[in-house]
Amino acid sequence: MEDRIAFDLWGDVIPEFKERALETIGDLRPELTRPAILRELILAPAPGRWIMIAQNLEWDTVRTLREQVITCFAHPQAYQAGYGPSDRDRLKECPVHRLFYGGVLGCSVCRDWFRWLR
């Protein structure tokens, strides 16, 4: 059995919609208290203020959420779970799935796709 590959969704908060962004993160990461979310936001390196919106998602969920959160996050980006914007320099991006991934095996969503075609 193959390991299930999970994904994290990150984005930078649009300042005018900060309140909605905080609520969104609160809904999607219920383990975090509001002060904890605010602390993550304050500690996020500028510019960009990238913050994790949700984690350990299935790919279908990533695709749906990425479209939903654009109302309060400027550039929602999908990462292979465990990676984030601070790893960008050592990651590759799949242009088809707009997914950042590490490792030498390529985009895991592309690999899944080819498995279905066989």
In the complex, the residues that contact Zn ion under the rule CB under 5 A are: 94, 96-97, 107, 109-110
Q: Which CB, 66 or 97, lies closer to Zn ion?
A: 97
Which of 65, 54, 62 has its CA nearest to residue 26?
A: 54
Nearer to Zn ion, 39 or 111 (CB): 111
Q: Which is nearer to Zn ion, 65 or 107 (CB)?
A: 107
Q: Which residues contact 55 (CB under 8 A, 6 or more apart)?
A: 6, 8, 9, 29, 81
| Minimum distance, C-beta of residue 94 to Zn ion, in the bound complex (Å) | 3
Minimum CB separation of residue 70 from Zn ion in Å reads: 20
**CB of 57: closest distance to Zn ion in angstroms?**
15
**Burial group, residue 69, by CB count within 10 angstroms (0-12, 13-18, 19+):** buried
